[in-house]
Chains A and B, each alone.
Chain A
Amino acid sequence: MSTPLPLLERLRAWAAHHAYVFFSSLGRLCRQPLSSALTIAVLAVALALPAGFGLLLTNVRHFAGDWQGAGRLTVYLRPEARRDQAEALAAALRDDARIASVTLIDKDQALAEFKRASGFGAALDALPDNPLPHALVLEPAPTAAADPAALEALRDALTARPEVELVQLDLDWLQRLLALLDLAQRGVRLIGVLLGLAVLLIVGNTIRLDIQARADEIRVTKLIGATDAFIRRPFLYTGFWYGLFGALGAAAVLAAAWWLLRAPLGRLLALYTGLPEPLGPDAALLGRLLALGIGQGIAGAALAVGRHLKAIEPR
């Protein structure tokens, strides 16, 4: 007569069966290399796309972050203001804690530079006198630079001075860029959610077909007394493998794209001075890909198993 096994023995057997199913589900994937590879390729692309966009966005933020301090102020004095007035103002501003540095651009020097850079040399020579004012370029201190309200207060204070004509705060474009990045980030998140859903559905559908192909086997094992957990196990592990290989495939796609783009990107960045090194795919990204891929793989399998296993009962 059959006697129930002792608990420890059953636990050991349970662990052994997990280990067995872990590898046998992998073996099953390997026995259908073409269809498995196709599924994994689709998963890899679906995972690589949002990860790639995310990486792109992270880089743009990375560069923009470096420009955060570029909330610089340009102070144009009134045309009749004299050089010594400009120097006095510059000296006063250098003592201001909110300002890191002050550069005085003399109006003659500015005109010479403009003639050289603009190509309007002859036209400018025709003018009776220099139309340009003296100007001061102010670099805000880091604390003030991070605070748009402080910069605006500084601008208003400077505008109120009698010798100042106009203060230009180069903040608008930065704010626009950051707003654009926020929008892009939301877009990338949306794409990420949709493609994550696609991974779920791809794995779910693959497992559904697998369940249908093995319906007879499921029926027989149910007849012999297999529990639902026992029958679910190989399918959940199959989902795990799909997720794992899909994530590794996505990492390979990103690594290849990075390898292809790195040199031209480096040449482009070399044209701008003072930019930080671009960020490539790293271990943290691989970890996120693996977590997402495996999680969605198992979830997709669980979804399919939950929906379709109950329908297969012995007759």
Chain B
Amino acid sequence: MLRFERVGKRYPGGRDALSDISFELPAGAMAFLTGHSGAGKSTLLKLIAAIERPSRGALIVGGVNVARLPARRIPALRRRIGLIFQDHQLLPDRTVFDNVALPLVIAGYRRRELARRVRAALDKVGLLDKERVYPQTLSGGEQQRVGIARAVVHRPPLLLADEPTGNLDPDLSRDIMNLFCAFNQVGVTVLIATHDLALIERLPYPRLVLRQGRLVDNPLAVS
């Protein structure tokens, strides 16, 4: 599903955010990406969604080399990825329902099928009763769950989460993590960047460890 081949990212000015990253995450797998802040976790996720472009190497997502993807193909790539951010990135002037529906509107779903899927996604994250409210009226944990519902509503094969529990207390964080595990169990490939080692300690998934832009612990190394 996801393969990095000697990927490097150098920002203008010469700073190397990532160097020589190689690993493979098979379809249906789940893994954590850890490291201190500034180690390059966010950059790595951004490369996958083509928010940033690699300076070197090949980055294969679902059989497509994102490193060479022309700009007009980027929307199609992003539709096959569910993205979850620490700061939710919800639209404040739209209801929870409309926020979650956005990927389906973009993909061209019609009203009835769209409503059915939005409600299924909200049900999964336990917010079915909040579909008419606006995001600001929700707690941080609830907003994060709306973000997750939006990321999974169009059933993408790959889910990327950047510090999804960054602002949440331990109980809420566990709830969120359990959600990701549940998605993985139905076949979604999941990659989660987090620095919360206590939270993921007991979870049986491989951990990629980044330090200063390099993978120092790599259980997913390409053989």
Contact = CB atoms under 8 A, between A and B. Distances in A.
Interface stretch (B10-18, B75-83, B195-203): B75-83
Given A2-B154, A314-B51, A223 B78 contact: yes
Contacts of A14: 108
B23 to A, nearest CB: 23
B109 A225 contact: no
B102 interface: yes
Contact of B109 (A13, A223, A315): A13
Interface string A243-287: 000000000000000000000000000000000000000000000
A194 B103 CA distance: 43
A313 B89 CA distance: 14
Interface string A275-315: 00000000000000000000000000000000000000111
A209 interface: no
A223 B154 contact: no
A222 to B, nearest CB: 8
Contact of B78 (A5, A9, A219, A224): A224
Interface string B191-222: 00000000000000000000000000000000
A223 B89 contact: yes
Given A2-B155, A13-B110, A14-B108, A225 B75 contact: yes
Question: What interface size band does chain A fall in?
Answer: 20 to 34
Interface in B73-126: 75-81, 83, 89-91, 93, 102-103, 105-111
Contacts of B110: 9, 12-13, 16
B98 to A, nearest CB: 11
Contacts of A10: 108
Contacts of B91: 216-217, 220
Given A2-B79, A2-B157, A221 B102 contact: yes
A1 B28 CA distance: 11
B108 A5 contact: yes
B187 interface: yes
Nearest to A223: B83
A144 B106 CA distance: 70
Given A2-B154, A14-B108, A315 B51 contact: yes
Interface in A188-225: 216-217, 219-225
A9 B111 CA distance: 12
A1 B82 CA distance: 12
A10 B109 CA distance: 7
Contacts of A109: none
Contact of B108 (A9, A216, A219, A221): A9
A2 B150 contact: no
A1 B105 contact: no
Given A223-B78, A223-B89, A314-B51, A1 B107 contact: no
Interface in A1-55: 1-2, 5, 9-10, 12-14, 16-17
A220 B111 CA distance: 21
B151 to A, nearest CB: 9
B31 interface: no
Contacts of B72: 228
Nearest to B90: A220
B156 interface: yes
Among B49, B51, B77, B90, the most chain A Cβ lie within 10 Å of the Cβ of B51
Contacts of A224: 78-79, 83, 102-103, 106, 150
A38 to B, nearest CB: 22
A315 B154 CA distance: 23
Given A2-B80, A5-B107, A222-B75, 18 more contacts: A1-B155, A1-B187, A2-B79, A5-B109, A9-B110, A12-B110, A13-B108, A16-B110, A216-B91, A220-B102, A223-B78, A224-B78, A225-B77, A225-B78, A225-B103, A226-B106, A227-B75, A313-B51
10 contacts: A5-B108, A219-B89, A220-B91, A221-B106, A222-B75, A222-B78, A224-B78, A224-B83, A225-B75, A226-B106
Interface of A: 1-2, 5, 9-10, 12-14, 16-17, 216-217, 219-228, 230, 313-315
